[in-house]
């Protein structure tokens, strides 16, 4: 059996990804893929992790957990997908004096131990720290900006140490990473990776994120273009989508206001430049499969 964990990060499109996969429930059922809801899997998973105390689950324990979260789908199950934006930390614990997600690496080993005989895979989306901070400030309304930042300078937030720790925690299991900002271009590949599907498997909704970025006319033109000239590869589809985004993007779709105290366009620019450099470092890490446009 294969087990896939989609781990976030916070304010990436984890829920949208899983929502699109759920639209393809019949296809996934034929492939033996199960996507239990967080409301179904969180308590059994939490109870099992607590009982194991870091040990590897026995075959009986793993089977019992599988039955609890998959239900009737446990018969003939080939791939079990768990997705939750808070696997690695609750929002109030994401930024700390030690940096973002300081315990990310420690979280992966116990998840591997839940199904030690399975082929376990991990998936993680990066996000521009400027957008992450803005989302956390909006989420944690009871905290001041200074409390949310936990003493960190915005420019000092780096993803590479987080991903390096995750690679160590994964103990050789595959870790797939992408940038959430690239998701409209790489969505089909990300969806198929998480679900364990091939490029030939038809997926409904794989253009789901483009509706918010393209004008209505642009989206209609894109659908007509793809229907009349179906892309022959993922790379070709990306080129088509990129061209339509350049020509038909909504005026405000690619911008996001960040009304944070003391922030300037120059600061956002420096954060974004550091993020780009950090992303390059992540993409080169051994043990990471990086999906890029």
Residue 199 near residue 192 (C-beta atoms within 8 A): yes
Task: Kindly tell me if the per-residue pLDDT of 180 is higher than 90.
Answer: yes
Query: What pLDDT is stored for residue 122 in this prediction?
Result: 98
Q: What is the pLDDT of residues 141-150, one digit of tens each?
A: 999 999 999 9
Higher pLDDT, 281 or 216: 281
How many residues does the structure list for the chain? 293
Q: What is the pLDDT of residues 244-279, one digit of tens each?
A: 877 877 766 555 566 798 899 999 999 999 999 999
Q: What is the pLDDT of residues 78-97, one digit of tens each?
A: 999 999 999 999 999 999 99
Phi/psi of residue 254, nearest 5 degrees: -100, 10
Query: What pLDDT is stored for residue 243 in this prediction?
Result: 84
First-to-final CA distance of the chain: 30
Query: What pLDDT is stored for residue 207 in this prediction?
Result: 77
Q: What is the pLDDT of residues 136-175, one digit of tens each?
A: 999 999 999 999 999 999 998 999 999 999 999 999 999 9
HSE at residue 11, side-chain half, CA atoms within 13 A, is 17
């Amino acid at each position: 059996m294969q087990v896939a964990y989609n781990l976030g990060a916070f304010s990436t499109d984890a829920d949208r990804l899983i929502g699109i996969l759920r639209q393809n429930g019949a296809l996934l059922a034929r492939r033996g893929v199960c996507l239990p809801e967080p409301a179904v899997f969180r308590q059994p998973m939490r109870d099992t992790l607590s009982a194991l105390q870091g040990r590897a689950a026995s075959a009986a324990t793993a089977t019992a957990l599988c039955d609890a979260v998959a239900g009737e789908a446990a018969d003939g199950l080939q791939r079990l997908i768990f997705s939750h934006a808070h696997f690695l930390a609750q929002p109030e614990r994401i930024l700390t004096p030690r940096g973002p997600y300081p315990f990310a690496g420690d979280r992966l080993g116990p998840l591997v131990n839940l199904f030690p005989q399975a082929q376990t895979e991990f998936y993680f989306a990066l996000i521009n720290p400027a957008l992450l901070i803005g989302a956390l400030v909006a989420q944690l309304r009871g905290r001041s900006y200074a409390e949310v930042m936990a003493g960190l300078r915005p420019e000092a937030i780096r993803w590479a140490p987080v991903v390096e720790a995750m690679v160590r925690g994964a103990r050789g299991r595959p870790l797939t990473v992408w940038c959430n900002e690239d998701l409209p271009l790489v969505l089909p590949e990300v969806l198929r990776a998480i679900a364990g599907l091939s490029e030939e498997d038809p997926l409904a909704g794989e253009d789901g994120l483009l509706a918010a970025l393209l004008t209505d006319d642009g989206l209609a033109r894109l659908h007509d273009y793809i229907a009349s000239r179906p892309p022959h590869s993922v790379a070709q589809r990306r080129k088509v989508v990129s061209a339509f985004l350049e020509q038909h993007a909504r005026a405000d779709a690619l911008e996001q206001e960040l009304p944070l105290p003391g922030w300037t366009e120059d600061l956002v620019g420096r954060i974004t430049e550091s993020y780009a450099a950090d992303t390059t470092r992540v993409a080169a890490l051994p043990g990471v499969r990086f999906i890029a446009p």
